[in-house]
Structure 1
Amino acid sequence: MASPKKKVTLEYVPPENVSNEPLLVQFTNGRLKPDNTPNFGYFKSTESDDVRKRHRRVLVAETKRMQYVGRNFGPSAPRGNSLCKYMVGVLDKNTGKMRVYDTNSFTMRPVVHDKNEKQKDEVDLTYQEKNDRLVDAFGGAKKKRAMESRLRDKVKREALETAMGAAVEDVMKTPEKLTGPEMDTDSTIPPHDKNAAKPEDVYRVESLISPEVFEALKDVAGVFVKATKEDISQWRTEGRYSTFVLRQVATMPLDEEARLTRSCHIMYMWYLLALHGLKYSDWRKRDLPLPEGMPLLVKQQLLGAFTVKADAARSRRAMPPRLKDKLLCYILVMGLIIEKFKLNLNDIQKDLKIALKKLMTLTRAVGCDVHSKKGDRSVDNEVQRMAVLPIPLKLPDQFSRFKGMKRGR
């Protein structure tokens, strides 16, 4: 049987008639234990003439182990404070009268102090820090937005300077660790042996592709192993792979093992070209739009060798000009290995989309001679340029190799 309804009369009590107003309080780290009763302090704004500031309140609480602070204004205040009016009703069960009071809502946040850090006194604060405290406590919305914008810019600037410092330090390191007699330890061009008697011994594919990376490439290189003329024609129509890659896939050996090895080399070359082809907008993304299906081990190896962290907080990466030159040198050397150290530069230039002068400079930087000849008239009489690696290897002076070189795009 339902209980009979009771009539309740409401009586609004104006704030000026209340000596101790009720408060709504919640703690961000959960409920306090019964044996941890806090001591409260309640502070009101003394600027009663200012309509915007006279209702500001600060509530502090202190327990044996923690201090808490809550405000009904500013960034730490509940969002509803500016949109809602909070009221509390106190019911007298005997008379059936409920008194309704205006109240404020506080979200109590813990204040953590580092015991090992010397606290700043007010006298130690700079003029700007003192002004920021005043704006945070009593400033208008416009001044607070300006202050928050300035502080955000300061944080971003400090983060950028830290990231740039880390990037410069990373770039200055020489990641290659070469082995063997009398090898040049230049970090821009791949590991090489100056005293090699054959071109294939100058730049060895094992120095570019580690055994672990080669094993990872086998899983994705199968698409080239089984490629038919129809597949190649479709890829060319769709623009799925670069000109150089499609031309190499069209001339695959018949031997099964040699076919797989060549397919792995071509796939690695494709990953190098794809990394170089990333646009400015791509580098601003958290996940770089690299070819789908790229093995994680290969991706980590390429990003570790040719990029640096640009934004540690968002895991973004960047490719400084020196590392881009390094990537271009690796692309040229990988092309030399695939084409038996006689590389046709025409397709490479189309894929890289860089100036001819820069391509020639980088080609000579890895020790190649460039031979040019007029092509057949059936192909618009295009000049064919062939990079050949002579023996013995002669590299340009390492301090003047890139001097005066314009960065073509």
Structure 2
Amino acid sequence: MAAATWRYRGDLEAKRPAALVRFANGRLRSPESLRFTVYRSRDTAHPRKRHRRILVSETERLCYVGHNFGSGVMRCNSLCRYFVGVLDKDSGQMEVYNAEMFNMQPLLSDNLIPGDTKDYQKKSYREKVDLCIEAFGTSKQKRALSSRRMNAVGNDIVSTAVTKAAANIIDAKGVTALMQDVAQDDVQTISAFLPPCHEDANRPEHVYKFEDILSPTEYEALRVPAAALASATAEDITKKAEERSHCSFVLEELKFLPADEKSRDHKARCLWFLDTLIKFSHLKVIKKKHPMGPECPHIISRKLMKNFTSLTYNNGSVQNLVSASMKAKITAYVILLALHINNFQTDLTILQNDMKLQESRILDIAKALRLKISKARGGLGLENDQNHKLGTLSLPLPVQKAPPGQRKRKKIN
């Protein structure tokens, strides 16, 4: 046979590229028995639409459809060029023609006619896989598909039942009453994390005892870290304010440390622990063994981890989390420390800003502590036109009231 030569002929005689087909669901057993039908766009004037083609082939079991346009078209047609060579063995001449790749997919829906693939293309990948499992899947795959669909139906039934039950409760009780119940539950949740309250005390300092906030051993451990605050000069306080190393409440109170050494040391210890509590409240997930640094005494670190964090499980490991309820507990202890520091009256707005809380949240906690709330203009560290909320612990303690609008139950005689 003579040496083969080739000649590029472009498109076929019908002025269109040759079709190369690939079946998406496997290999055909007898491809020579297939017959293909080509549908071309009638809009021959449009530069893009005139090249659109749909290729259809039908076997005894399935109908296959492929096309060269739309969302499901193969991107290789726009990135590569394909050619088909026809070799004449006698002359050794090879004719080379342009070619185009078609991805033939089974048309599984009974409602579609050949060429109408819109509904099939709109289906999700999961739905297409389910259709393939129905047609070609094993018995085990079909049982799993049936079980999954039954579970989906069961979930829909449960969701519908829950929605209906919630609607019935809202209709029967009313949105206002439900909101009042939620508010009452929130107050009860906050109360569960408060220090012991001695309602029969005859002096404000005995209502919430200092020993319930800091034990004598913990108080003694604060002597060393609080020494720097007790000995702070005016220049040191100015530098701390520039560095923002402490919260606003502590920086302001450092300006008014008592001259008496014992009282000065006591206030410095309280301020140091209050500042540590506020910094600890800004954490979320505790990943370090000593989150407050090496200068924090071990007994204080253990107190923070044990009393002001919740245990949570993540990826098989135990983590300490400062949850919303724990932050409410920290806020309550911060308010009580501030009361002991300031003769049982403190500016709640400053503490609110330091702890990055909403005003309604800190007021709810203050009310749960049985404080009297009053207003004041201006104040330490705030603008003059900003209203302050002051919290005062005084005797007799205010009576805890139910949320506004909640009706009292009538006694049945």
TM-score (norm 1): 0.48
TM-score (norm 2): 0.48
